[in-house]
Chain A
C-alpha cells in the first residue's frame, strides 16, 4: 500500500514541492495541506517542510503554530501519527510544544547553507527505523536559526530517554550537545534541522536522505 504523506504549506513555506518530490521518488504520494485546513483524512504521515512560514515574523514558527492545520497535526500526533518537521518545520514543532527546546540564531550569526555530516543516534523513531545507529549521513543544512537549545533538565531527559535522533559530527551552528534532531516521548514526532529531501539524488551530491524517508513511509 502506498503511503500518503501530507505536506503542510503556510504562506512563506518554500520546500513543499521538494519534500513531495522526495516522498514520490521513494514510492509515496505527496499531498499539499493548506494551513487553513483541519482535514487530515487519508493522510498516513505529515511533513512540515522548510521555508519561512508567515515570513518568520516575530520568531520562526511563532505564528504558524496558531493555524488550524497545526491543531489538526497536534491531534494527529497525539493519536500516534508520524510527523516530521524539517528545518522551519522543526521550528514550528518546538513553538507548538510538540517537541522540546528551541532553535536560536547560529552561533556565527550568519545564515548557513552547506552539506554536513550527521550521525544517527537512535533507530527507535519514525524517521530512523530503517537506518542504523552510528551511521553517518551527508545532509545539507540551510538555516539562520538552527542552533538547538534547551535547559539542562530537558537535555538530560532527552539523553536518558534516547530522544536525540541525530547529532552533527562537526557542529556548524552551536547546537547544545551537537543535537541536529530530536523526537517526542512517543517517538512518532521528529524534528531535524538538516534537509533530507535535498539528499535523495546523487547528481545533487548525496542520497543519504533516502533512508530517512523510507523509514517515514514505512512507519505505519
Chain B
C-alpha cells in the first residue's frame, strides 16, 4: 500500500527511493506525507532553484538575502526594511475572496516574523479579459478579499497594479508584496537553538483547512477513517486573529523573549518545525497531542501538514515562558508548548513527549536533500514573425486610445491606503512614496521610501529575456520619477508548467534577463517566490515575472511631481525615440502578440534615471510619467485625465509614434521658465529631448491625429473598470 502511496502524494519513484536511502528504511505514511509537502514544487523550488542561483543577491546594505522569510536591507538611521512578495494564484482561482485574503495574511506573517512591523502592502493582479464574466467575478472577489483582510488587519495597501488579458482566463495571478520596518538591531531569524528550549505554537487552532493532498491521501486508503470529508483545500483567513498575532509578536520581540520565530505557511507545522531546526543545526521533538485542534479525530498527518492560517512558531528559553504567556493573554492569542529543541538533527513527531514516536526524520533532509531538477528547456518555434506586418490594421486612433485607458481607482478606493500617516504618494502613480519613520519612536526622518511593482506579460511573451530586463528597467525609472534610487528587488516568477520544455526555457531566459538588469543597475535580489503550473485547460499563461523594487528618497521635503498638469506647462519627452509595436498594448488590442522587443541599453537607462531623479529632487518639473504599456498616447491621456486641463501636442506623426513602446522614455511637464534648464541638463547627459507641446484648454489635441474634448478622455479613463466590475464607486 505504502509503495504506491508516494505517487498519490505526488512524489516520483526516484524521490521515494531517495527518501528510503536517507532514512535507511521504508518511510511510514506520516513521514512520506511530510516529505511530499516539503519536496513539493511550492516548498522546494525543485525546478527553479538551479536557475535562481544566477541572480545577484549581495550588496553592502543587504542584511538578509533570499532563503529567509523575507529580505532585509539597511536603510540608514538604524532602520532596516523587510520586504517580500508572494503569489496566491491557485487559491484565488478557486475561491477569489479567501484566496486573496489568505495571500495577504501569509505575506504579512513573513514580514513580522523578521521582527518588522508591516507598514505597507502592494498587489500585482492579473485577470482574464474584462468581457469574460467569470474573470470579472474573480477580479471582484480578489479585490474584495484584499480589501476585507488588509483593511481589517490594519496594514495599508498603498499601491500595486492590475491588468486584464485572456492569457489569465481560469488562472488569475494574485501577487502580494509586503514591506515592514524594524530597528536594525531587532532582527529576528527563523531558527531554533539551545537544547531544551521550547517551541511554542501561537495563534489559531489547527483544522483540516488547507490540506491539499490529504483528501487524496485519505481516499488512497491511508487513513482507516471511512468518513473523512474532503474539505476545501483553500484556507480561510481571520484578519482579527492576525492583527492580535502581529501585536502580540511585536511585543514579544520588544521584550526580547524569542530565540527564533517562524510563521506557518505552506506545509504548516512540518515546514516550520523542520526549518527552524535545520537552520539552527539542532533537532526537535514535536508533541502533536499538544497542538490545539479545531475538531476531534484529526490524524497526525493532517495536523502536521494543515495550512490553517494565523499561526506562528516561537522558539524560547523555558524561563521566558511565563512572560510570553502573559503577553499572549493580553492580546487574546493562544499559546501552547508543542515542541522541544533537542541535540542531534532529528525531527521527531510524538504522541505526547513520552509517548509513541510517529515519525523520525533528519530535519535538514526535508530542505537540503530536496531534489533539484535541471528540467529540459526548448526555445519555442519562431512562429510569431508577424512583426514585419507592423500592425497593418486600419485602426481608429481615437477609439484605440480610449480603449487603452483604465483608471485603477475603482480598485484602490476599496483599500485603506493612508493608515500610519506615511502615504505621500498613494496608489495609481508610477511609484508609491512613504515617509520613513523611526519604527520605535514614530519620529520622521525626513527621508522617504519608494516602492513599485512592475510586470508585463506581453513583452515577456515576445522575448522573456529582454522583456524581463525591460520590467526591471521600468521599476528603476518608476523609482526615479519620485526621486528615489533603488536599493533592492524582490520577484514573483509566475510561469506555466515546468515539465513543458518551452516554459522551462521561458523561466530560464527570464531569470537571465533579470540577472543582467540587476547586475547592470547594481540592485541585489533579496527575495522571491516562484509560482509554476499556471495553466488552465492545458494552456500555459504568458510568462509573467513580477518585480517589486524598493528605493530610498534622501530628502523628502515636498510631494514628488506626479501626473498633474499645470496650465501653461510645456510637455517634453526625454529619452530615445526608438519604438516598435512588438509586445505592445496596442498590438494586443488588435489581437497580435508578435514582433520584436527593443532591448534596453542599461547604461543609457541609468543616465536617464539619474537625470530624472535630479529633476525631481531639485523641483525643476511639475509633472512626470514613465512611458510604459500604451506608449506616449496612454501616458499623455492619463496625465490629462488626472488634471484640470487639456493639451495641444505635435511631433507625433502616426499611430505607431503614439502607441509604440520602447525603453527609457519619460514624459515631463514643466514650467516654461525651467525648460532651458531641463534641456541643458539633458544635453550634458546626452539624453535626447522632444518638445511636444503645451498644457491648456479643454481639449486633447494631437496635431493631425486626434482632437477630442478632455471629457471624452476622462470618461473613458474613469468608467472602464467600474462598468466592467461592478457598481461605480469612482467619483473624481
Min distance, Cβ A89 to any Cβ of chain B, angstroms: 14
Q: Does chain B have a CB within 8 A of A66?
A: no
* Assembled-state Cα–Cα distance A142/B151 (Å): 9
The answer, yes or no, to whether A18 is at the interface (CB within 8 Å) is yes
Q: Are A17 and B243 in contact (CB under 8 A)?
A: no
Other-chain residue from A56, A108, A201, A203 in contact with B729 (beta carbon distance below 8 A): A108
Task: Report Cα–Cα, A17/B440, bound state, in Å.
Answer: 12
Question: CB of A81 within 8 A of chain B?
Answer: no
Render B365-386 as a binary contact track against A, CB cut-off 8 A, 1 for contact: 0000000000000000000000
Q: Shortest Cβ distance from A108 into chain B, in angstroms?
A: 5
Contact check, A142 vs B147: say whether CB atoms are below 8 A apart.
no
Tell whether A198 pairs with B421 under 8 Å between CB atoms, given A12-B243, A109-B727.
Answer: yes
| Contact of A56 with B243 at beta-carbon distance under 8 Å, contacts A112-B414, A113-B417, A204-B418 already known | no
The stretch of A37-45, A47-55, A155-163 in contact with B is: A47-55
Bound-complex Cα distance A57 to B727 (A): 26
- A11 and B414: CB pair below 8 A? no
Q: A113 vs B151: C-alpha distance in the bound complex, in angstroms?
A: 10
**B298 interface contact, C-beta 8 A:** no
What B residues does A108 contact at CB under 8 A?
A: 727-729
Chain B interface, DSSP helix/strand/loop, else mixed: loop
Interface of A is mostly: mixed
B421→A110 contact, CB < 8 A:
no
Residues 74-105 of A contacting B (Cβ, < 8 Å): none
- Would you give the 0/1 interface string for B52-79, flagging 1 where the beta carbon is closer than 8 Å to chain A? 0000000000000000000000000000
Q: Does B332 contact A (CB under 8 A)?
A: yes
**Contact between B240 and A21, CB atoms less than 8 A apart:** no
Q: Say whether A18 contacts B420, CB under 8 Å.
A: yes
The answer to the question of A170 belonging to the interface, with a C-beta cut-off of 8 Å to chain B, is yes
Q: Does chain A have a CB within 8 A of B442?
A: yes
A11 touches B418 (CB 8 A): no
The answer to whether A17 and B442 touch across the interface, beta carbons within 8 angstroms, is yes
Give residues of chain A (158-215) contacting chain B, Cβ–Cβ below 8 Å: 170, 172, 195, 197-198, 201, 203-204
Which among A18, A55, A113, A114 has the highest number of chain B CB atoms within 10 Å? A113
Partner of B421, one of A56, A112, A170, A204: A204
Chain A residues lying within 8 Å of B154, measured Cβ to Cβ, are 12, 14, 51-52
Chain B residues in 8 Å Cβ range of A197: 421
Q: Which listed residue (A110, A142, A201) contacts B416, Cβ 8 A? A: A142
Contacts of A56 in B (CB 8 A): 152, 240
Query: When the two chains form the complex, which single residue of B558, B728, B731 contacts A203, counting CB atoms closer than 8 Å?
Result: B558
Q: Does B594 contact A (CB under 8 A)?
A: no
Within 8 A of A (CB), among B247-300: 247
A113→B154 CA distance, assembly (Å): 13
The listed residue with most A CB atoms (<10 A of its CB), out of B152, B558, B726, is B152
- 16 further A-B contacts with Cβ under 8 Å, apart from A110-B413, A112-B413, A113-B415, are A12-B154, A17-B442, A18-B419, A18-B421, A21-B442, A54-B240, A110-B147, A110-B727, A110-B729, A111-B151, A111-B414, A113-B414, A142-B416, A201-B421, A203-B556, A204-B424
List the 9 shortest-distance A-B pairs measured between CB atoms, nearest first.
Answer: A55-B240, A14-B154, A108-B729, A52-B152, A111-B414, A110-B729, A111-B147, A113-B416, A142-B416
